[in-house]
Amino acid sequence: MSLRDDEHDNRSALRIVIAGGGTGGHVLPAIAVVEELRRRQTAVELLWIGSSDGVEREQAERSGVPFIAVPTGKLRRYLSFQNIVDATRVPLGIIAAWRALRQFRPDVVFSTGGAVSVPTALAAARMAPILTHEQTAQIGLANRTVARVADTFAVGFEPTANLARKLHRRVVVTGNPVRRSLADGDAARGFERFGFDPELPLIYVTGGARGASPLNDRIGALLPDLLERCQVLHQTGPESANRDAVRLREMREEWPARLQQRYQVVEFIGAELSDVYAATSLVVGRAGAGTVSELAYLG
């Protein structure tokens, strides 16, 4: 028995590295898994390896998961000079991830996609079993790369499994992990949080964590008519992704106070999402895998 095996046998806690991020679609399924492990009182030690500028750092810290940022480059399907620049960052990311993995000594690596998952998964090859999860109907470039070193390839949808089997011999359909806590929202708290009237219907507009400008533009054009009948909470995405929040807030300032009260713009909905869902009469959103899975779960 090697020293590594002996240490494993004498440890009570399972050490899990989470690799992935960039957008909420890659991050929130991992948060759902963390919540479920804790709900089951599973003895685990967690480490999240992500990017410095993705949403995963804030989510990991909010969930009490130690976080390490590594360099990464975006994977693109088109020719761009930036591809050359980013390609130089991947080896740096692999080295940084390898150092973190060597120190943490994980029992398993859970990869949820996004460019930052690639250096961690490549560094973890032959160091620990790798489970990668694809949330969307189409397999992203990151997971296509990670599939080469992963031990198991999990997918959210049955049709995706047919695509995954062309890349990997061991494919499992798990569905998309969704946070149970989303069902525990309080409608009254949701209305109060944003200063809305509980007697009026509330529409929640979301383009996902990074927003969707085409959706924001279409909703913006409809707002004067909509707000005569209901209230709107609008998640636009962060300023790093688009300038829609600034533009919509400026437009809001031109309305009568009565309509201003019925419209709130936020760049991102965080821990209060469960309360927002509980208060909402209708969700208008981009059909991202995370949003679709959450709404299916909530019924």
pLDDT by residue (tens digit) across 151-180? 999 999 999 999 999 999 999 999 999 999
- 5's enclosing H/E stretch is helix 3-9
Cα 214-218-220 angle, rounded to 5 deg: 115
Which pair of structure tokens corresponds to residue 107?
Answer: 């029992």
pLDDT by residue (tens digit) across 134-152? 999 999 999 999 999 999 9
Would you tell me which CATH number, out of the four given (3.40.50.2000, 1.20.1250.20, 3.40.50.80, 3.40.50.620), belongs to the domain 3-177? 3.40.50.2000
- Domains 3-177 and 181-298 alike in fold: yes
Which pair of structure tokens corresponds to residue 292?
Answer: 């679709």
pLDDT by residue (tens digit) across 270-288? 889 999 999 999 999 998 8
pTM for this model (two decimals) = 0.85
pLDDT by residue (tens digit) across 6-54? 444 446 899 999 999 988 899 999 999 999 999 999 999 999 999 988 8
Q: How many residues would you count in the chain? A: 299
Which homologous superfamily is 181-298 in? Answer: Glycogen Phosphorylase B; (3.40.50.2000)
Which residue carries 């059909």 as its tokens? 287
Residue ranges per domain, the chain?
A: 3-177, 181-298
